[in-house]
Chains A and B, each alone.
Chain A
Amino acid sequence: MINAEVIIVGGGVIGSSIAHYLAKNKVDVLVLEKNDIGSGASSRNGGGIRQSARDLREMPLAIHAVKNLWPYLSEELGVDVEYHQKGNLRLAKNNQHLKVLEKIVEHGQSVGLDLKMIDGDQVKELCPFVSHEVIGASYCATDGHGNPMTTTLGFYKRARELGARFITGESVKSLIIKKGKISGVKTLENIYEAPIVIVASGLESRSIANTAGIDLPMQKVMLEALITEDQSPMFSQMIGTAASDFYGHQTEHGSFVFGGMTGLEPFDSQEENAVTRNIAAPSICRAILGYFPFFENVKIIRTWSGFLDEMVDHVPVISKVEEVPGLILACGFSGHGYGISPAVGQLIAQMIVEGQPSISLEAFKYDRFKPRV
């Protein structure tokens, strides 16, 4: 049996970030990961670090992360997380698209975000490669992108140097509760004990929480992505569309990472594993070419997929569980957890070390889901 002050279940970007900020505060933390570090959504995502188009509940976390954490993260971790703050363009081709964007802009401006509508010419000035069909965009100059793989492994590496312990290949089967409080976790072969357990296991958080009698309205959605061969530097913004058919950016080594939606999610796939299907990449390619004809002859070298842990209201659960003292949930990031991962780690560490996070997490409680009637 192994003991720690805090056990984290899941070595994705969220679990590794929490481990980093706890270890920095000299907390004895143990991370249990069933595969290898970052093998879930954290190594499969599009790298978008945005505040724009977020639910207002998430906005304080996103703004804090962009202002105070992302700019210094590479230095703090000693690993280049390839953070670039060169803005986010969400493109429109028709009036219906413009209407969608105007709502997003109004929404963002209401909390003071530097977000505005720009016209087709202004888009072309920022990003000369867009098609002539683009008539406008929303533009958030303080959004950006990073490298999710080096971010996740960077949190892991630094946390490990600061004394956090990690064990991979350990799949947690259930939470252990003694006298009404959390006392540890059980894996196939072992028992690990700690008075605080944080469930940051992505999709599997639901079944793990279930072992303590807690359920979450979360479902699995598979999303696909692809990467091109290297190109010389073309543009540095994060790109999205009002139609939500694709998004992407150019990475530091020159490849473009693109992801997209066929519009059939989440009903088109019940896959057990993150496979790629033959309808997704072609759909993403058609979407890209509709906005960037330039890419016609650019080659794709790799495709992959990943799962979202989608909450019914598309906002995560970052919360203590009142019925089970010692149990904390950090899951359900619903497809946009990478951008706020440093803030989530820092705030949960504050919750444990100082008793109170510096930004309220009230909006992310596990018991906010109520039936309609």
Chain B
Amino acid sequence: MSKIIGRALKKDDFVEMPDDHIIICRCEEITKGEIRRAIYEGMYTMNEIKRYLRVGMGLCQGQTCNKLVKAIVAKELGLDMKDIEIPIPRSPARPIAMKAYADDGYMR
């Protein structure tokens, strides 16, 4: 079950940080600043950040950046890392060509 989270607006303005330019999601080239801003704009879960920015939707499917994103969410929202759920992994584990996927024995 998800935890109850209120989504009230932050009172303070968004504050830029010196390391905001660092790329966190390498597949989709998304920076720490973009992720921090998305959180500021109300994207409080890893799933929402993924859907909003495409973090973890590239070829590696978040295998590289999930941990880094989690740490940013924890810091920005003052949460414990263990309370943050990562997005559900999706099949296939590695990219598969369409003709291989199509060939499961039921032929046309």
Residues of A participating in the B interface, judged by any CB pair closer than 8 Å:
34-39, 43, 79, 149-150, 152-153, 156-157, 160-161, 165-171, 189, 228-229, 253, 276, 278-279, 281-283, 285-286, 288-290, 295-304
Contact B2 A300 (CB under 8 A): no
Residue in A35, A278, A279, A288 whose CB lies within 8 Å of B98: A288
The answer to whether A297 touches B99 (Cβ under 8 A) is yes
Interface size class of B (residues with CB under 8 A): 35 or more
Q: With A38-B51, A160-B42, A290-B108 as known contacts, state yes or no: A299 contacts B2, CB within 8 Å.
A: no
Cβ-defined partner of B48 (8 Å) among A37, A79, A286, A296:
A37
Per the bound structure, the CA–CA distance linking A300 and B5 in Å amounts to: 34
Whether B54 contacts A253 by the Cβ 8 Å rule is: yes
What's the Cα separation between A281 and B97 when bound, in Å? 12
Q: Which B1-31 residues sit within 8 Å CB-CB of chain A?
A: 1-9, 28
Cα–Cα, bound, A149→B8 (Å)? 21
Partner of A282, one of B28, B42, B101: B101
Asked whether A286 and B2 contact (CB < 8 A) given A296-B97, A303-B92, the answer is no
Residues of B within 8 A of A278 (CB): 104
A36 — which chain B residues lie within 8 A by C-beta? Answer: 2, 44-45, 47-48
Q: A167 contacts B7, CB within 8 Å?
A: yes
Contact in complex: B95, A286 (CB < 8 Å) = no
CA distance A346 to B43 in the complex (A): 24
How many cross-chain pairs have Cβ atoms below 8 Å apart between A and B? Answer: 118
B41 within 8 A of A: yes
Give, as a whole number of angstroms, the nearest-CB distance from B56 to chain A: 10
* B7 engages A165 (CB within 8 Å): yes
Within 8 A of A (CB), among B89-108: 90-92, 95-99, 101-104, 106, 108
Residues of B within 8 A of A290 (CB): 108
Known: A276-B91, A301-B61. A295 touches B2 (CB 8 A): no
Given contacts A166-B42, A285-B102, A298-B98, 20 further A-B contacts (CB under 8 A): A34-B2, A38-B51, A149-B51, A150-B52, A153-B42, A165-B7, A169-B4, A229-B95, A253-B28, A279-B104, A283-B106, A285-B98, A286-B106, A299-B95, A299-B98, A301-B95, A302-B57, A302-B91, A302-B92, A303-B91
Instruction: Give the chain A neighbours of B79 by CB distance below 8 A.
Output: none
- Whether B98 and A228, one on each chain, are in contact in the complex, defined by CB atoms closer than 8 angstroms, is yes
Minimum CB–CB distance from B26 to chain A (whole Å) comes to 14
In the bound complex, residues from chain B placing their C-beta under 8 Å from that of A303 are 90-92
- A289 to B95, alpha carbons, bound, how many Å? 17
Q: Is the CB of A299 within 8 A of B97?
A: yes
- Known interface pairs A282-B102, A296-B98, A299-B95; A160-B3 also in contact (CB < 8 Å): no
Establish whether residues B2 and A282, one from each chain, have CB atoms under 8 Å apart when the complex forms.
no
Choice from A43, A156, A169, A300 contacting B42 with Cβ under 8 Å: A156
Is the C-beta of B77 less than 8 angstroms from some C-beta in chain A? no
Q: Are B44 and A300 in contact, with the CB atoms below 8 A?
A: no
CB of B103 within 8 A of CB of A282, answer yes
Docked Cα-Cα span, A79 to B3, in Å, equals 27
Q: Given the complex, which residues of B lie within 8 Å of A38, measured CB to CB? A: 48, 51
Residue in B5, B8, B28, B51 whose Cβ sees the most chain A Cβ within 10 Å: B51
Task: Give the Cβ gap from A93 to chain B, nearest Cβ, in Å.
Answer: 12
| Assembly CA distance A290 to B42 (angstroms) | 43
Chain A residue contacts of B45, Cβ below 8 A: 36, 168
Asked if B2 and A168 sit within 8 Å, CB to CB, the answer is yes
Residues of B40-74 at the interface with A, using a CB-CB cut-off of 8 Å, are 41-45, 47-48, 51-52, 54, 57-59, 61
Name the A residues within 8 Å of B90 (CB-CB). Answer: 276, 302-304
The minimal Cβ–Cβ distance linking B90 to chain A, given in whole angstroms, is: 4
A170–B47 alpha-carbon span in the complex (Å): 17
Q: What is the minimal beta-carbon distance from A226 to any residue of chain B, in angstroms?
A: 8
**B96 contacts A300, C-beta separation under 8 Å:** yes
List 29 contacting pairs A-B, 8 Å CB cutoff, sorted by A.
Answer: A34-B2, A36-B2, A38-B48, A149-B52, A153-B43, A153-B52, A157-B41, A161-B9, A165-B8, A166-B6, A166-B7, A167-B4, A170-B4, A253-B28, A281-B101, A282-B106, A283-B106, A289-B98, A295-B98, A296-B98, A298-B97, A299-B97, A300-B96, A300-B98, A300-B101, A301-B58, A302-B61, A303-B91, A303-B92
